Amino acid sequence: MSHSPLNWIDEELRELDAVGLRRRLTTRSSSQAARIVVDGQELINFGSNDYLGLAAECLNDVVIDAIRTHGWGSGASALVTGRGSLHAELEAALADFEGTEAALLFPSGFAANVGAITSLASKGDVVFSDAKNHASIIDGCRLSGARIQIYPHGDLDYLRMMLPQASAFRRRLIVTDGLFSMDGDLAPLCDLAALAEQFDAMLMVDEAHATGVFGDRGRGTAEYWGVEEAVHVRVGTLSKAAGSIGGFVAGSRSLIEWIANRARPYVFSTAPPEAIAAAGLAAMKRIQEEPHRRTELLSRADRLRRRLMAIGCDTGESASQIIPIMIGEPEATMRFNASLRESGFFVPGIRPPTVPEGESLLRISLSYAHTDDMIGALVQAIERLLLVRGGEPLMDANEH
């Protein structure tokens, strides 16, 4: 093999392969729905975050109409000439939906998290971040230049111990996912809100997986726990329950203006096409007008969790439409994933670095679009695979 300074990459990829951590690109040739075709195989899809079943069809017409009236590309960052009337309309609708003074649209939820955190914290500040927060929060913390204090997942005692020592920092920010993306559990927002108030800290909650799903009006976990007033910075995304793309930050007018001035992923990135704002507007309308989608989704998730537990699956602390089946090691996880795939189900295997070592899992992502038959067939397939394994528990006791 001729020498190239990039030769190390093939070696690294082989090493990833050897420990079951190599990701492979797949190609979906159907639309994103409950039934998909991936690499030529038809599968029942338990891998998308289209929780309310809006992605495949519900938004198509408004997008096509918006392209006809507003064109496609936005051509510049929002602060230059990229922000059009539909973007402004969506930001007003998001603020209205969230019950906040203002909202700001980002190209993605990832960009919204990075933009918000780096605007709020810098050198001389401290950020308290849950160990299971999403990668975009982690990267935002790293880029901010602030001291990062990672607290064990949901560990309020740790925070109670550390926060009193944080008064020496200029500002304090506590940041958490509202609904954790892999384990499907909820952050203890009531306690976090009380701690933030006690120690004069800003509280930021990423509602990526909860927007449209949790809370009476679908605003997310802050609404569900009744602590909206205590959450200073709310991040959401239109890429999951809203079935589209684009992230947003909602909060006070001055917060939003500050972020629009400071967030580099906002200032230095082209605004998304206005048609995306049209999809966002239509999705927010559906979320508000069709609450049965989220109530039905959560009660189906409850039933599915109970059925999985009854056949011996460890679903961890899941309390939502995200239901993990804890496996442990990546190789075993991917074997289970492959067997389910042979049975016609797509259930993604989640491995490090997405989850910590020893905590690989299958992530069932439930959607309003799944029928009872699809859910029943999944449970049967999992049960069959467990029987093939001789009924042994999916996770060794010592893997916990």
Ligand X SMILES: Cc1ncc(COP(=O)(O)O)c(C=O)c1O
Q: Which residues lie near ligand X (CB under 6 A)?
A: 108-110, 113, 134, 136, 177, 181, 206, 208-209, 237, 239, 247
CB of 292 to ligand X, least distance (A): 25
Catalytic residue check, 240? yes
Q: Give the Cα separation of 233 and 122 in Å (integer).
A: 16
CA distance 300 to 375: 9
Query: Could you give the dihedral angle defined by the CA atoms of residues 178, 180, 181 and 184, in that order, rounded to the nearest 10 degrees?
Result: -110
Six-digit token pair at 49? 């975050």
3 is catalytic: no
- The maximal CA–CA distance of the chain, rounded, in angstroms, is 63
Q: Which residues pair with 174 in a beta bridge?
A: 128, 203
- Strand pairing of 102-106 and 247-251? antiparallel
> Smallest Cα–Cα separation from 284: which of 259, 250, 261?
250
- How many C-beta atoms surround the C-beta of residue 169 within 10 A? 17
Count of Cβ atoms closer than 10 Å to residue 377 Cβ = 15
With respect to ligand X, which residue has the nearer C-beta, 47 or 199? 47
Nearer to ligand X, 322 or 326 (CB): 322
Find the catalytic residue in 132, 134, 209, 232.
209
Phi, psi of 214 (to 5 degrees): -100, 155
Per the annotation, the verdict on 318 as an active-site residue is no
* Residue (50 or 125) nearer to ligand X, CB: 50
**Comparison of 113 and 320: residue with beta carbon closer to ligand X:** 113
Are 362 and 313 contacting, i.e. CB atoms less than 8 angstroms apart? no
Of the two residues 233 and 381, which places its CB atom closer to ligand X in the complex? 233
Q: Which is nearer to ligand X, 256 or 322 (CB)?
A: 322
Smallest distance, Å, CB 245 to ligand X? Answer: 7
Separation between Cα atoms, residue 40 and residue 374, nearest integer Å: 20
Q: Which two tokens stand for residue 161?
A: 């111990």
CB of residue 239 vs ligand X: minimum separation in angstroms? 3
Residue 207 CB, shortest distance to ligand X, in Å, is 8
Q: Among the options 87, 134, 240, 370, which is catalytic?
A: 240
**CB contact at 8 A, 270 and 81:** no
Total residue count of the chain as it appears in this document: 400
282: its two tokens: 């239509």
The smaller minimum CB distance to ligand X, of residues 84 and 178, is found at 178
Q: Count the neighbouring beta carbons within 10 Å of the beta carbon of residue 253.
A: 11
Strands 349-350 and 360-365, bridge-based pairing: antiparallel
What minimum distance in Å lies between the beta carbon of 11 and ligand X? 29
Identify which of residues 140 and 381 has a Cβ nearer to ligand X in the complex: 140
Strands 247-251 and 322-328: unpaired
Q: Are 297 and 366 contacting, i.e. CB atoms less than 8 angstroms apart?
A: yes
Q: Is the dihedral of CA 348, 351, 354, 359 positive or negative?
A: positive
CB atoms within 10 A of CB 223: 23
At closest approach, how far in Å is the CB of 232 from ligand X? 18
Q: Which two tokens stand for residue 344?
A: 């016609």
Residue of 108, 181, 360, 365 marked catalytic: 181
CB of 324 to ligand X, least distance (A): 13
Q: What is the distance of C-alpha 11 from the center of its chain?
A: 32
Tell me the closest approach of the beta carbon of residue 256 to ligand X, in angstroms: 18
Catalytically active residues, by annotation: 181, 209, 240
